[in-house]
A = this chain, B = another copy of it.
Amino acid sequence: MDLAARLRAAIPAEQVLDDPAVVESYLQDHAEWAEFSRAAVVVRPRDTAQVRAVVELAAQLRVPVVPRGAGTGLSGGANAIEGCVVISFEAMNRVLEIDPVERLAVVQPGVVNDDLRTACAALGLWYPPDPASAPWSTIGGNVATNAGGLCCVKYGVTRDYVLALEVVTGRADVVRLGHRTAKGVAGYDLCGLMVGSEGTLGVITEITVRLLPGRPAERTIAGYFDSVVAAGEAVRAVSASGVVPSALELVDRHCLEAVDAWKNMGLSTEANVVLLGRVDTPGEDEARTVLACFENAGATWAAVSSDEQEAEALFDARRLAYPALERLGPVLTEDVCVPKALVPEMLARIEKTAAEHDTLIANIAHAGDGNLHPLLITPIGDEDAKRRAQAAFEDIIADAIELGGTVTGEHGVGLLKRGGLRRELSPAVLELHRAVKAALDPWNILNPGKIFT
């Protein structure tokens, strides 16, 4: 009996897909360049028991299991492994509970981030983690990659909101990790260990997240700068001022030009670098402080936006940067994170790298926490350009490590950053990773080969 037939004996047959044309659409995430192989089969479980049955069979047969949310990942973490079972969570997409007093929500892994946020907002509550993929990406994927976003400069990343998880382990046990209470230190933080483990330590089947009261009103401060050095000085000044912005985004000249070429917004004629800050503490003080930081750092223009629509228009330029650049060719998104004060230095090095390898590299950055997204664009089908971009990619990773940074701030290691991880972590730390992996997944069936080999 082949794998699909065995799976159809274990869970309802219609949830097991092995039509090659269907399986084809589950083989990769959004990571440019990341390899992927042929999955044997895709399953779409409806509940935890079905996930457990799949993992149990996979464990018996020593077949790799690749959990998959919406496939919006940027490192190849959800890419198929030869002969694997892809577990797609699209049919486990229910918000199970929202409790306004305990301020928590319980969701299935396939719930789309924005759907959870909308459901919370209807009750005057807020789930902060806001990756740029929020309209499509799922909470399960967000947890597996410990996704960041725009507001994490003030409100933290996904890990900071995960209270508890239900997980199917590598031994096909269903376990509950973490706690529903506001605090809890009973035993090791295995819940936290699962967050960001990219499906290699367990398959997440239910997620309990902490919520905040409804999002406070924000003010937007925009600044135009001639140079990344001036913009970087503004970022440093904001950090030193004691204001913690609820967003502090940087958009560079290449992005502005691409957006202008597409939408004709006229941004690139006015600025080389745009900084967009948001603040949300009641009162005018924070906005005034950020504005002064921008002006003192040499902004050629800076203002506090007086209305929400105007502010949204400014953030549109940030949001449009990625699709605008994609019009020029496939975009490989980098994700290094460096100490905040070194953002200008890192941007300068990226500029040098772009020139050295004759590669177009645009930059958007969560500047407030030093998380840069260099975007490497290569014309379709230009293999030589791709080789040059690959070399640039490696240089960016090396520079980030040299500056005391990390190879991945929020996208995860997946396949693309495995080499970077080996450079960033010491052999002893990699050995600890292997020991933990072997302890929790003794048959090496859970997304094997991701993060490290």
Contact = CB atoms under 8 A, between A and B. Distances in A.
Interface of A: 100-103, 124, 145-146, 148, 152-153, 156-157, 159-160, 169, 171, 173-177, 179-190, 192-193, 195-197, 201, 212-214, 236, 239-240, 242-244, 281-283, 285, 337-341, 366, 368-371, 404-413, 417, 420-421, 424-426, 428-433, 435-436, 438-440, 451-452
B185 A338 contact: no
Contacts of A368: 182
A166 to B, nearest CB: 11
29 contacts: A101-B240, A102-B339, A102-B340, A148-B183, A160-B160, A176-B429, A180-B339, A180-B404, A181-B337, A182-B340, A183-B337, A183-B371, A183-B410, A184-B337, A185-B409, A186-B406, A186-B417, A186-B420, A187-B413, A188-B193, A188-B196, A188-B451, A189-B197, A190-B429, A192-B193, A193-B436, A212-B244, A435-B440, A439-B439
A147 to B, nearest CB: 9
Pairs A-B, 3 closest by C-beta atoms: A182-B369, A213-B242, A439-B439
A432 B442 CA distance: 11
Complex copy number for this chain: 2
Q: Is the interface of A mostly helix, strand, loop or mixed?
A: loop
A184 B146 CA distance: 9
A428 B173 contact: yes
A411 B185 contact: yes
A176 B102 contact: no
- Residue of A212, A285, A405 contacting most chain B CB atoms (<10 Å): A405
Contacts of A371: 181-183
Nearest to A102: B339
B432 A186 contact: no
Contacts of A101: 236, 239-240, 340-341
B236 A425 contact: no
Contacts of A339: 102, 180-181
Nearest to A103: B239
Given A186-B413, A196-B185, A439 B428 contact: no
Given A187-B451, A192-B192, 15 more contacts: A101-B341, A148-B185, A152-B183, A156-B160, A160-B160, A181-B339, A181-B369, A181-B371, A181-B404, A182-B370, A183-B369, A183-B370, A186-B406, A186-B424, A189-B193
A155 B32 CA distance: 39
B439 A187 contact: no
Nearest to A201: B188
A195 B189 contact: yes
A195 B192 CA distance: 10
Nearest to A409: B183
- Residue of A173, A236, A432, A433 contacting most chain B CB atoms (<10 Å): A432
Nearest to A441: B435
Contacts of A337: 179, 181-184
Contacts of A421: 186-187
